[in-house]
Each structure stands twice: as C-alpha cells, then as structure tokens.
Amino acid sequence: MTTKARFGNQFPTQSVILPYVKSLYQEAIDFYHKTKCKCYEWQLNMLKAIMAVEDDGLWVHQKFGYSIPRRNGKTEVVYIMELWALENGLSTLHTAHRISTSHSSFEKLKKYLEDSGYVEGEDFNSIKAKGQERLELYKSGGVIQFRTRTSSGGLGEGFDLLVIDEAQEYTTEQESALKYTVTDSHNPMTIMCGTPPTPVSSGTVFTDYREKTLFGQSKYAGWAEWSVEDMTKIDDVEAWYNSNPSMGYHLNERKIEAELGEDELDHNIQRLGYWPKYNQKSAISAKEWQYLKVKMLPILRGPLFVGVKYGNDGANVAMSVAVKTLSGKIFVETLDCQSIRNGNQWLINFFKEANIESVVIDGQSGQSILTNEMKDFRLKAPVLPTVKEIINANASWEQGIYQKNICHAGQPSLEKVVTNCDKRNIGTSGGFGYKSQFDDMDICLMDSALLAHWACHNAKPKKKQQIRY
C-alpha cells in the first residue's frame, strides 16, 4: 500500500492581491511547457496574480513582490514570466546581488530556449560575458539582459520588465538607479523576489515595500509570502509544510532534517520565512536597553555632566545629562532635541541654572557658535572632543551597555533611537560611531547621551584637601 504524497501549502500565508478578472498566465505556462518542464500548483497561482491585466491590457500590479524560503524554486516563477516576455518582444532587465546568481539565471534561460527547440545563432543570440550576459530572440525582437546590481547600473537604459532577484539585498541606492529604467515603457512591471533579510543583509527596500503593501500604503502593488508569524521550533514539521510550498515536489522532510542546526533564528528566516522585527539588526537591541531601565529614580550624587550634539545634517541639536548614582552606575537622560532655528538660548539657560561639572559639545554645524556664546555669558569653557575622543566615547557607551553600568528611566524618544541604530566606521583604525536606521530618527539624540556618559565616566573624583599641622 502506497501512501499519498503530501504537498506543502500551495497558497501564500499572507498576501495582497488586487482584484482582477483576466490574466495572461496561461500564455506563459504554454511557452514554459515547450521546455518539457511542469509548473507546480503554487507557481501557477503566483503567475495568475502577477500576470493579471486590466481591460486596457495594463498590468493590475505594476509592482509585485514575493518572499519564499530557500530552495523552493522562487526564481522559476520569474523564468516563466521572462520566457513569455521574450516571446512577446519585450525588453527585460534581470538583476541579482551576486554575479554567480545572475550568471546561473542566464544559463537557465538559455537552456529553456534550447529545450523549446530554438537554435543558438539561428533563432536567438547570446552574449556570455559574466556580469554582462544577454539573450535576444530574433523572431520577436525580445531581449533580456542579466546584471549584478550597483548604485549606477541600468542608468540610461529602458526596459519593460525589471526583475530584482535576491531582493533582501536590494539597497535604496540601487533602487534609485534602477526604478526609472522602466518609466518609458507603455506597460512597465517590476518583480522583486527573495527571502526575509537576515541580520547581515544590507538591503532595506524589500522590507519597506512589504510593510507598505501589507498595510495598504502602495498603489498598483501586490505581495505574497510563505512565512511564520512568530519564532517557531526548528523541528516543527507542520511549520515546514506551511511555509514551503515545494514540499512534496523537489523538497522533502529528509532534506530539511539534514539542514537542522543550532541557529534557531537562521532556521526560522531561511526555512520558515520568518520576518524579524524591524529593529532586529540594531547594534543595540531592545532587550539590552530595556534591561538597564530603572523602576524608580536612583539616588544621584555629584554634579551633572552635559552632552550636546549638533546633527550631521545641521537641522537639530540635542542635549542630554549623565550623573553618577549611589550604586556606582551612571544615570543618563535626554533633556531635549530642538531645531537649530530655535537658537542656543535654551542651552545657555540650562548651563546657567544647573549644577554642572562639564559640558561636551560635538558637531561642526554649531560647536564654535555655542562655545563663543558660553564665553560671552562667562560660563566655563566646554570640552570639544577630538576624533579619537569621539571614538572612545562610542566605545565607552557600548561597554557601559554590555557591562550594565548604565541606567535610564525608559524615555520613549531615546529608546526609539537607541534600539534602531547601526554602527558606522570612523577613521581607519576600527573606530566606530552610530547612525540611525530610519530617516525620521535623529541619531544626535543618542550621541548627546553617550557624550554625557563619556564625560561622567572619565571624571576623576576631586581629592579632599588635607591640612597638616
């Protein structure tokens, strides 16, 4: 007695498909069948949505993105679409993150043309130079170019179909160079396919597109994914079938069992399609920062140390304070972040009224102006840190968090910036600073806090004067 084959979930676990009546998918399937290949059910379902058209023949989805765990054959959907585009005389740009991936796709499409009965030289032409591959079908004039992505690749060229393979690595710089390449087309389409980003993925476009589309903030856009909503145990077989539509076809339980290791997060991302939360890649995690939060204000001792940071874009200036606690930790708090247009008087007023030991100021856009104003008000001269000292301040901040020597009251504004930051290189000797992951979060908020912390941490206790007789 033979057991019936079990197949993976053939429909996305989460999707946004705009209403449609007509789809050109069958034309594409017919061309694909000439290669002697057969289409999986989930691939056919995807093509129905991707190739849906309006009454006027325009694509329902001008952009379509989909995410599927590795080794499910996600790019096969693109190949079927690209074969159709070649047969219909369209111009296609197929991009990938790696040269090997781009070249592999070229080889696959070339083989499909040959399997369909076309002869190279007679029916189609191919250019095999790695990184500059090209296929042209003579009878239709259809062309497909294969490229690895750069910040300038594609500029000046025009296409009807833009394919972004390995979309989890698609950066905003690359998008700004490529998104206009389909603008001149009468009926343009962009397809993005990939897996959820890992903590080391460099791209943000795929994640942003997913979030906007799922929340209905994108027009003419579609999305589909196979995923788990929360972290799942790696040996959960039901999750394997739910997130991997090609289970029962070329993927099976035995193959997945051979993959299993101890990295639960990696398994969830790569095999179960789990999308980490937006601050997953932050250099300082929410868990690390929340651990330092105090339930009530600790007993403070000694004067305040103030950090002032002018933003790199010259728009804002932030001020924070640090002070030692009775338990020996350093308490930090942000006082305010204001537009530079408001002037520096609010800073001066605080310097005059508070019990301050020292003020550290960083940021070329306002550093010298504030220093001169402090001099005019006969305030103690501030500390203007060197590049080396800035590097030390950032390293001291990181160590303070790791060693749990910092405490704070849980300010939402500061927490939002701290738990959504990346590191950036300073100098050439391995020094680092921080940058925000999002444009609407100004890193100067955290920079002012870490400057105050650095001043407080490095302050030497004053020796009591001893009088001897």
Q: Residue 343 is part of a domain; what is its CATH number? A: 3.30.420.240
Q: Is residue 186 domain-shared with residue 129, that is, in the same domain?
A: yes
Range of the domain at 26: 14-270
Q: Is residue 307 domain-shared with residue 260, that is, in the same domain?
A: no
- In order along the chain (469 residues), what is the average pLDDT of each group of 10 residues? 79 93 96 95 96 96 96 95 97 93 94 96 90 92 92 72 95 89 93 90 88 84 93 93 96 93 89 74 87 94 95 88 95 94 94 95 91 95 94 94 94 92 70 81 93 93 58
Residue after which a domain boundary falls, among 238, 270, 302: 270
Q: Is residue 293 domain-shared with residue 237, that is, in the same domain?
A: no
Residue 23, classified by CB atoms within 10 Å of its CB into exposed (0-12), middle (13-18) or buried (19+), is middle
Q: What is the pTM of this model?
A: 0.61
Q: Is residue 266 domain-shared with residue 292, that is, in the same domain?
A: no
Task: Give the pLDDT score at 449.
Answer: 97
Q: Is residue 254 domain-shared with residue 307, that is, in the same domain?
A: no
Q: Is residue 223 domain-shared with residue 367, that is, in the same domain?
A: no
Q: Is residue 201 domain-shared with residue 330, that is, in the same domain?
A: no
Q: Is residue 252 domain-shared with residue 300, that is, in the same domain?
A: no
Residue 9 counted as domain residue: no
Residue after which a domain boundary falls, among 270, 294, 312: 270
Task: Give the pLDDT score at 279.
Answer: 42
- The residue whose two tokens read 């296409």 is 159
Residue 3 counted as domain residue: no
Q: Is residue 330 domain-shared with residue 264, that is, in the same domain?
A: no
Q: At what angle do helices 367-376 and 345-353 cross, to 10 degrees?
A: 50
Residue 395, classified by CB atoms within 10 Å of its CB into exposed (0-12), middle (13-18) or buried (19+), is middle
Q: Is residue 243 domain-shared with residue 349, that is, in the same domain?
A: no
The set of residues, in sequence order, having a beta carbon less than 8 Å from that of 345 and lying 6+ positions away, is none
Task: Give the pLDDT score at 278.
Answer: 46
Q: Is residue 327 domain-shared with residue 229, that is, in the same domain?
A: no
